[in-house]
């Protein structure tokens, strides 16, 4: 990802309502990618729309559960209320193809699957990895490929070059994430295990890294690179130069009780891949490296 700092919105300023003033960088910028025209060019496919579950079609909206603090995938614009990001654009485009509007619901990452199972939302889209464990609870329409990366303080004072260097150190992760699972299950061959600090707040994790309370943050590659380039105008953090760990797909989560919705979303997204809309959205956010060519369900 190659988004410049001037194009960015600092994650601290986006969600730092509880952060001390001295921990907050300059206010957010409005200079975000112009993607409205790309999304608004998408037109309804009547045949696809006719395959939607009756309840969704009648409501005319797609209720999307997300944890909106994960740039460039999903975060808030400078007004603090408008969701923006690559995932936001993609799900809006899918919804337009199906003749629906989008209603985002911001919630803790760890509650997304249970909210979906309970019917409080129709889908999840929150940089959630499609894993065999999660497939036991919900289905996934895969739309992107990513992996875990390590973010450290600028200059890498702890000298972290790979996962083995995390042993015996405190590492921040998002609660309920694949990064938390990876860190807790990582086997340290010598020395103490990784000391895992899990929170629901990217801002809290970053503040801990800035102040040295943790030695690193484990996050998905797009988010880590984006934050490293934008927070403090690129002066706070850097990403360790290594291949993504446990690379795999992001998936739009869908309730197993609504297979018609899963099929409709998969077909709508494949249409957007084929006609170039998908690629234009990813290019606007500089995340083309995670692009796919075939939209699958549960990796198949």
Tens of each residue's pLDDT in the chain, 300 residues = 333 333 333 333 333 333 333 333 323 445 688 999 999 999 999 999 999 999 999 999 999 999 998 889 999 999 999 999 999 999 999 999 999 999 999 999 999 999 999 999 999 999 999 999 999 999 999 999 999 999 999 999 999 999 999 999 999 999 988 899 999 999 999 779 999 999 988 899 999 999 999 999 999 888 888 889 889 999 999 999 888 898 889 999 999 999 999 999 999 999 999 999 999 999 999 888 789 999 999 988
Cα distances from 18 to residues 68, 152, 203, in angstroms, run 16, 22, 9
- For 147-246, CATH number out of 3.40.190.10, 1.10.3720.10, 3.40.50.10420, 3.30.470.20 equals 3.40.190.10
- Check if the beta carbon of residue 206 is closer than 8 Å to that of residue 245: no
Closest CA to 70 of 222, 211, 254: 222
Tokens representing residue 260 in the block: 């018609």
**How do strand 139-153 and strand 237-239 relate by DSSP bridges?**
antiparallel
* HSE (side-chain half, CA atoms, 13 Å) at 195: 8
Cα distances from 212 to residues 10, 152, 156, 236, in angstroms, run 20, 10, 11, 12
Question: What's residue 266's pLDDT?
Answer: 98
CA 115 to CA 108: how far, in whole Å? 10
CA 175 to CA 210: how far, in whole Å? 19
Angle at 120 between CA 115 and CA 124, to 5 degrees: 60
CA 200 to CA 252: how far, in whole Å? 20
Question: What's residue 193's pLDDT?
Answer: 96
> Which residue's entry shows tokens 């927070």?
231
- Check if the beta carbon of residue 86 is closer than 8 Å to that of residue 71: no
Rounded to the nearest angstrom, the gap between the alpha carbon of residue 110 and the centroid of all alpha carbons in its chain is 13
- Rounded to two decimals, the pTM is 0.76
231 secondary structure, DSSP code? G
CA 139 to CA 124: how far, in whole Å? 10
Instruction: Write down the domain spans for the chain.
Output: 5-146+249-290, 147-246
- Phi, psi values for residue 198, rounded to 5°: -110, 125
- Check if the beta carbon of residue 221 is closer than 8 Å to that of residue 147: yes
CA 163 to CA 173: how far, in whole Å? 14
Tokens representing residue 23 in the block: 């921990």
Domain 5-146+249-290 identical in fold to domain 147-246: yes
Neighbours of 198 (CB within 10 A): 17
Quick one: CATH architecture of 5-146+249-290? 3-Layer(aba) Sandwich (3.40)
Question: What's residue 112's pLDDT?
Answer: 97
Element (H, E) at 220: strand 216-220
CA 101 to CA 49: how far, in whole Å? 12
In three-state secondary structure terms, 92 is helix
Element (H, E) at 103: strand 101-106
């Amino acid at each position: 990802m190659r988004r410049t700092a001037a194009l960015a919105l600092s994650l601290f300023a986006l969600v730092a309502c509880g952060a001390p003033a001295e921990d907050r960088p300059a206010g957010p910028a409005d200079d975000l990618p112009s993607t409205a025209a790309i999304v608004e060019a998408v037109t309804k496919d009547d045949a696809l729309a006719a395959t939607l579950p009756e309840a969704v079609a009648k409501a005319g909206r797609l209720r999307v559960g997300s944890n909106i603090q994960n740039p460039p995938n999903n975060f808030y614009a400078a007004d603090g209320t408008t969701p923006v990001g690559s995932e936001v654009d993609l799900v809006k485009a899918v919804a337009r193809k199906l003749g629906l509007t989008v209603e985002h619901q911001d919630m803790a990452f760890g509650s997304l699957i249970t909210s979906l199972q309970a019917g409080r939302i129709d889908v999840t889209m929150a940089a959630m990895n499609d894993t065999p464990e999660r497939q036991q609870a919900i289905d996934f329409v895969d739309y992107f490929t990513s992996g875990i990366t390590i973010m450290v303080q600028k200059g890498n004072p702890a000298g972290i070059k790979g996962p083995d260097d995390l042993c015996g150190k405190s590492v921040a992760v998002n609660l309920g994430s694949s990064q938390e699972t990876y860190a807790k299950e990582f086997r340290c061959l010598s020395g103490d295990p990784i000391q895992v600090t899990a929170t629901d707040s990217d801002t809290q994790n970053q503040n801990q890294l800035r102040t040295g309370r943790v030695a690193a943050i484990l996050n998905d590659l797009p988010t880590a690179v984006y934050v490293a380039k934008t927070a403090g105008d690129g002066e706070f953090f850097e990403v360790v130069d290594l291949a993504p760990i446990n690379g795999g797909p992001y998936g739009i989560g869908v309730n197993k009780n609504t297979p018609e919705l899963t099929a409709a979303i998969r077909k709508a997204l494949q249409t957007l891949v084929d006609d170039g809309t998908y690629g234009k959205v990813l290019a606007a956010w500089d995340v083309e490296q995670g692009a796919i060519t075939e939209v699958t369900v549960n990796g198949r």
